[in-house]
Structure 1
């Protein structure tokens, strides 16, 4: 079945921002068997952007698979469809991988992120859902697109005090280098820690999965790593009662508001810059912001070390390190967790 749905999402407040998260209405679901395709045309986030990161969640993931494709308007019409990912809960049945070598005059895919050759204000989305025809039936529960303008200048916040300081969520600690292949497992370890955390909060021990199991379920053989952002959020969101997506924030205050509400947030950073060095090596690192001290110093679960996972780093160093990824985050929460007001429209995904 092929269909097209036009989305009227341009009514969002047109306030200046470098990022915006859009939840796509779920006007498609998995067939009983075989596959379906659905296009969502002319999605307008209300900002001009040059990068898009998709996210998806579906229950009973071992019995389903998804492909995400994007295209943009060009001076001569439409670009080709760019593949942003193939994902399934069972990689032996259906591929779980990114697609490389897609660059042309209209854009490129950087593993999990679409980068337009020129700034634009709308995008088309194509979703392919495939079912293996077994029970329980997969069920799509979340589709989001994170839009950002990476050419915008990052402004650092400086506050003498804040009502969001002085809070800590005691997320359990795991260290990536205590596992085989640990040097590339910062993302899987962060996801594992958040699963462990919510298994305690929800009293659901079955969702506590250690790092090797998370690694196996988020590994991207094309990227050759466990750091594909939407693969990590897709795995977290594959458990009933949990949802997750990739977003980009507008300032450190977004983190402060969420951590004050008891929501720890995984952030993509440069580890070198986080540790106070002037420049960072190529390649990112994942840490979890678990709170802020009374003076505004951020508190982390940093999986980079075998011991001493709970750490603090200088606020200015963290802000510079976080901007290395254009303030990319994993939003990972239970369905029943109340989110605070979202003034910048970067975390309202339920």
Structure 2
């Protein structure tokens, strides 16, 4: 069972922009740029995580930057969060380590505020193409989730649970990451390190989407599941040296016909709204062996698919760390799992769904 900790509350706000194709190309002399308006969030910001969807033809890429904002002026410099391309043949998809000053720092996929007063954010995306290329990248969406510091005190009025989620388990296919142990060391080596792309592949398959057999034809031998290898390669962050970069996974999913973004949820009650709407979530947690009964391993950060809830409200997971597909489905204790999810990642969730499937109504402080 999770250890007892003082209650905390946390402010969370998400804002996204969907761009018409003709407003987001604008490439002149091999580079173009789109800058969002400042987004005030109404609280002191501790972290900002961006996410985006884009198309990058051969040789093209995008660069995603964030800066903090306060009042009527920027509160920090710009920080480069990603140099991203759909493929890896000409551009190494990468986060940018080593960015730190007295105001903020970049931790792989997260802008961490360290000294500045930040109450909002602004994004800037540079669209890049090779000299002479007849086509350029297209930015389709970008957003960010801003999170306040964890503060002592009760979390506030309990969120209403969704009776439509209780007893509902979505039919998400079950994939084990460990079937790929030792595969493709240049993209993390499968096994222990492919939880995030395995989850992304499961949810894409739930929607009937994902790479085709032709797109996976380079996977030789094909092994247990070529689509997972395809996802691991195309989510891989060369600086982080892993496939677990959160927005790289949602950007990959966006290539396959879904609206995809990273956010943070305050509780499993908020997650129930998604399951009630038929939308599984990919959630990130950190825990010690047996801290959540049934999860008998240690992890500093692990991705699982939240596929439903029992009639009593316990979460039902597709856990890719299972030794084989048959053991992927697991039911865990609600309070214990909620505690390690909130403590480990602040409630991080990937939301992947076709645009035709509506999101549930957001809470007053909108985090989706």
Common topology (TM > 0.5):
yes
Is 2:265 the counterpart of 1:265? no
Distance 1:242 1:158 in 2: 28
Match of residue 339 from structure 1: 359
Does the CA contact (< 8 Å) of 2:177 and 2:192 recur in 1?
yes
TM-score when scaled to structure 1? 0.84
- Pair 1:243–1:302, CA change in 2 (3 A): same
Aligned residues: 330
Write out per-residue CA displacement over residues 82-114 of structure 1, whole angstroms, 9 at most, x where no aligned residue: 111110012232231011111111111110000
Is 2:27 the counterpart of 1:18? no
Distance 2:321 2:33 in 1: 41
Match of residue 168 from structure 1: 169
Matched position secondary structure for 2:114: strand
Distance 2:79 2:228 in 1: 31
How much has 1:197 moved relative to structure 2?
A: 1.3
Matched position secondary structure for 1:270: strand
- Pair 1:137–1:128, CA change in 2 (3 A): closer
How much has 1:155 moved relative to structure 2?
A: 3.6
How much has 1:341 moved relative to structure 2?
A: 1.0
How much has 1:71 moved relative to structure 2?
A: 2.0
Is 2:297 the counterpart of 1:288? no
TM-score when scaled to structure 2? 0.80
How much has 1:67 moved relative to structure 2?
A: 0.7
Distance 1:53 1:160 in 2: 27
Does the CA contact (< 8 Å) of 1:73 and 1:79 recur in 2?
yes
How much has 1:69 moved relative to structure 2?
A: 1.2
Structure 1: where are the runs of 5+ without partners? 1-15
Structure 2: where are the runs of 5+ without partners? 1-8, 184-188, 217-225
How much has 1:171 moved relative to structure 2?
A: 0.2
Distance 1:135 1:168 in 2: 47
Matched position secondary structure for 1:322: helix
Matched position secondary structure for 2:46: strand
Q: CA RMSD for the aligned pairs? A: 3.2
Distance 1:24 1:274 in 2: 40
Is 2:139 the counterpart of 1:140? yes
Write out per-residue CA displacement over residues 19-64 of structure 1, whole angstroms, 9 at most, x where no aligned residue: 1110136353352771112333532123331110011101355453
Match of residue 149 from structure 1: 148
Write out per-residue CA displacement over residues 213-269 of structure 1, whole angstroms, 9 at most, x where no aligned residue: 101001111111111000000000022x31211101122111101001110000000
- Pair 1:297–1:158, CA change in 2 (3 A): farther
Match of residue 91 from structure 2: 94
How much has 1:274 moved relative to structure 2?
A: 7.0
Match of residue 186 from structure 1: 195
